Amino acid sequence: MTWLSRIKKYLQQSWQSLTQDWQVLREDPIPARELNQTFLQASLPAVNFYLLLALAAAIATFGLLTNSAATIIGAMIIAPLMNPIASLAYAFVVLSPRLLERAIITLLTGIILVITIAYLTTELLGLATVGSEILGRTTPNSLDLGVALAAGAAAAFANTRRSIASALPGVAISVALVPPLSVVGIGLCLGELGTAIAMSQGVEANIAAGSFLLFFTNLAGIIFSGSLVFLFQGYGNLKKAAIGLFVSFLGLSILLQPLGFSLRKLYIRSLAMRTIFELRQNQPDLFPGTAKFRSINTLYRKDGLLYINVEIEAPVKDINRVQEKLDLVSQEMSQALNEPVKISFDIIPFQRFQSQ
C-alpha cells in the first residue's frame, strides 16, 4: 500500500468517525397535522392573548415615553403578536381558510388594541415628549426590511423544530412589532405637536405614519420569508402558496420605494458626516481645532436640492471668514456627494475661562 493510499484510507476513516452520528442529530420537521393544530391554537383570539398584548403595549408605551430601551425590550419579549403573524404566513402556504380567517381577525384586533392603549396611556400621562426611541421608529429604510425578512425566516424555521423553539423570544426581540404600533398611538395622541418636536430634533417625519410604515414593513417581510421557509420545509405546495406569496410580494414591492429613499437619506447623512470630518482633517483652516460638531442634519426639500445643516460650537476668537469657509465646504460636499448641495452653519459661539 502506497503512502497516498494510506492517507486516503486515514481520511475516509476520520470522516466516517466524525459523521457517524450526524443522521441521529438531524431533526425532522414537525408533522403538518401537528403544526396545523399548533397554529390554530396560537392564532386563537383568546382572553390570554389580549391580556398579555395589552400589558406589553402598556410597558412599551412607558418605555418609549421614558426613552428606556430596556423597558421596550421587555415589552417585545412578552408580546404575543408574532403568533398570529406566523400563523398567517403558514395559512398562506397551506391555504387554510379557517386558519387564515382566524389569524387575520386576531392580528387586526391586536393592532387596534395596541394603538388604542398607547393613545390612552399617552393622553392620561399628559407627556409631550419625543425621545430617541420614538424617533428611531419613524423613518424605516431597506435595512429594516432586511431584518424583517431574516426574522420571518427564523420564526418559521423555529416553529418547525422542537429543539430550537426556545429561539422564538429572540426573534421577537430582533424585529419590532409592538413598539412601532405603540409609537403610532403616541403619534396620534401628540398630533402636530409631536411632529414639531421631531423636526426640532432634526427628524422630518410624521410620527404615526412613519412608525406604521415600520410595522407594515416588518409584517410584510415576516409573512413573505416565513411563507417561503414553510414551503421549502414541505408544508403545502407552490400552487396553494402562489396567491399568498403574490400578495406578500406585492406588499414588499410597494414598500421598496419609500424604504429605498429613506436608506439613501441615511447613506447621504453618513457620507456628509464623513466628508466634513475628512475636510476638518485635511484642511484644518476650514474648521478651527477647538470647534465641536453638535449635529449634522440632511434634508431634501421640494426644489429637489439636498440641504445640509451643521451645528457647531466654536470659541468667539476663532470665528472668522465664515461665508468663505461655507462656500468652500459646499463645493467640496457637492463633489463628494455628486449632486448640488446647499449647506448652512449654525455657529454657537462660546468663551472659555480658566483658573489662574
Residues 231 and 288 in one domain: no
- Mean pLDDT for the chain? 80
Is 345 within a domain? yes
Residues 216 and 301 in one domain: no
30: DSSP letter: P
Residues 142 and 58 in one domain: yes
Give the integer Cα–Cα distance in Å for 173 and 73.
6
| Radius of gyration of the chain measured on its C-alpha atoms | 27
Residues 122 and 198 in one domain: yes
Cβ contact 223:90 at 8 Å = no
* More confident of the two residues 127 and 187: 187
Q: Which domain holds residue 79?
A: 29-263
Average pLDDT over residues 91-107: 89
Is 244 within a domain? yes
Q: How confident is the model over 133-166, as pLDDT tens digits?
A: 888 888 888 888 888 888 888 888 888 877 666 6
Q: How confident is the model over 282-326, as pLDDT tens digits?
A: 776 666 666 777 777 777 766 667 787 778 777 766 666 667 777
Is 2 within a domain? no
Is 19 within a domain? no
Pairing mode, strands 306-315 and 341-350: parallel
Residues 159 and 300 in one domain: no
Residues 292 and 171 in one domain: no
* More confident of the two residues 13 and 51: 51
Residues 291 and 257 in one domain: no
Asked if the model's pLDDT at residue 196 lies above 80, the reply is: no
Residues 55 and 175 in one domain: yes
Q: How confident is the model over 25-60, as pLDDT tens digits?
A: 566 777 878 888 888 888 888 899 999 999 999 999
Residues 148 and 90 in one domain: yes
Domain count, the chain: 2
Q: Give the global pTM.
A: 0.77
Range of 67-71, 143-147, 179-183 with top mean pLDDT: 179-183
Residues 215 and 66 in one domain: yes
Asked if the model's pLDDT at residue 167 lies above 70, the reply is: no
Least confident of 124-128, 204-208, 298-302: 298-302
Is 269 within a domain? no
Which ranges of the chain would DSSP assign to H, the alpha helix?
3-19, 22-25, 32-42, 47-65, 69-78, 82-94, 97-125, 132-135, 142-159, 168-174, 178-190, 192-200, 207-232, 238-282, 322-337
